[in-house]
Amino acid sequence: MRNPTVCLLVGDTHTRHCGVKDYAQRLAKALGECDVVAEVMAPPSWNTKDFLAFSKILRQRKFDILHLQYPSIGHRASLWPHLMGRMNLGGKFVATLHEYTALSKWHRTSTKLFPWAADQLLFTTDTEMEHYGRSRVGQQVIFIGSNVPAFPGIRERNVNVLHFGQIRPDKGIEDFLALALRSQECGLPFTFQVIGTVPERRADHYKKLRAETTAEVEWTIDPSFNEVARIMAGSLAAYLPYPDGATYRRGSLQAALTNALPVLTRVGPDTPAELLPVILPTAGVEQALAHLERLRKFPREARDLGLSAKVFAQRFSWTRIAQMHKQIYNDVLQSGCGVGQPFAAGTASASRGRD
């Protein structure tokens, strides 16, 4: 059986700061290394005129698999992503739902259309799939990988503490800045650095944070992923106090683990138990400072924790992620007639999956 051709569909291809688009691009590259031709595409916009013109291009290209990454910047409130699986645009239609539990109520409700239009639903954590509930089509979990590569060399670690990721609400950055201020007040030797990107619609939030921050913090905006890896490889730790606790859907957590960087983070109800040995559970600023002091005083202990984290992160390698996708694509293609029929014709889809 020949390898399938795949179109990875995102909200748009020109937005600079979109984690889901970055994920799709890394997945396309990894699939290519597994001999699967994959291309990241999007219409100019998801309004009706632009999407219908784009749909003609998809029909002409005759991809074996159309794989929607939802939601990503550009989709907005359009329902075309939910309907396209019924429009005979490609051989089979697969949809990955990213951060389902973090979606607005409207977006969560709209995703209930996907089992009607898709041949397979994918989720990035078991908890996300459980919250979504059962459906008429198959559901599987494929964890995300790190968009930041592992630094290829070995660097001497300093006393720098990092926060990494998009600079927007609900990322715990306010707690990181509070930690920096508390460390400064205590006269401790740590330095603090925020590394990230600023989505356009969060520009005011970023400006407000910087204007109100009294702690001495270095801000590094829009570095390359290779530069992020270099900084991580030479830092003491990352403080990533996610409001809902550490889970596998956090790309910044994956990046730190991949680069053997000890991670101080919250534990929430959805934090996997197997993750606990490779992180430092941290309830607040005072406990974070205690962790940092111990890492500074016992560098061998810090190194051992980082190495354990790096070994743990290998289960989320892009090679493994690509191989899992390849297997799913082949399974879907071999499953017979699916739902990728013209919805205007009223063709009933085959009912299969968990029910």
Together in a domain, 310 and 332? no
The tally of domains found in the chain comes to 2
Q: Which domain holds residue 206?
A: 160-315
Please tell me whether residue 211 adopts helix, strand or coil conformation.
helix
Can you tell me the distance from the alpha carbon of 176 to that of 238, in angstroms, rounded to the nearest whole number? 10
Q: Residue 21's domain is classified under what CATH number? A: 3.40.50.2000
Rounded to 10 deg, the angle between the 299-313 and 285-297 helix axes is: 110
Give strand pairing partners of 162: 193, 238
Q: What is the pLDDT of residues 264-294, one digit of tens each?
A: 999 999 999 999 999 999 999 999 999 999 9
The model's pTM: 0.86
Together in a domain, 51 and 92? yes
Together in a domain, 71 and 11? yes
Can you tell me the distance from the alpha carbon of 36 to that of 316, in angstroms, rounded to the nearest whole number? 19
Together in a domain, 341 and 296? no
Together in a domain, 125 and 192? no
Question: Residue 350: inside a domain, yes or no?
Answer: no
DSSP, res 126: H
Question: Residue 311: inside a domain, yes or no?
Answer: yes
Instruction: Tell me: pLDDT of 159 over 70.
Output: yes
Together in a domain, 297 and 329? no
Closest of 64, 93, 63 to residue 81, by C-alpha: 93
Together in a domain, 244 and 309? yes
Together in a domain, 125 and 171? no
**Mean pLDDT estimate for the chain:** 91
Confidence bin at 168 (pLDDT 50/70/90): confident
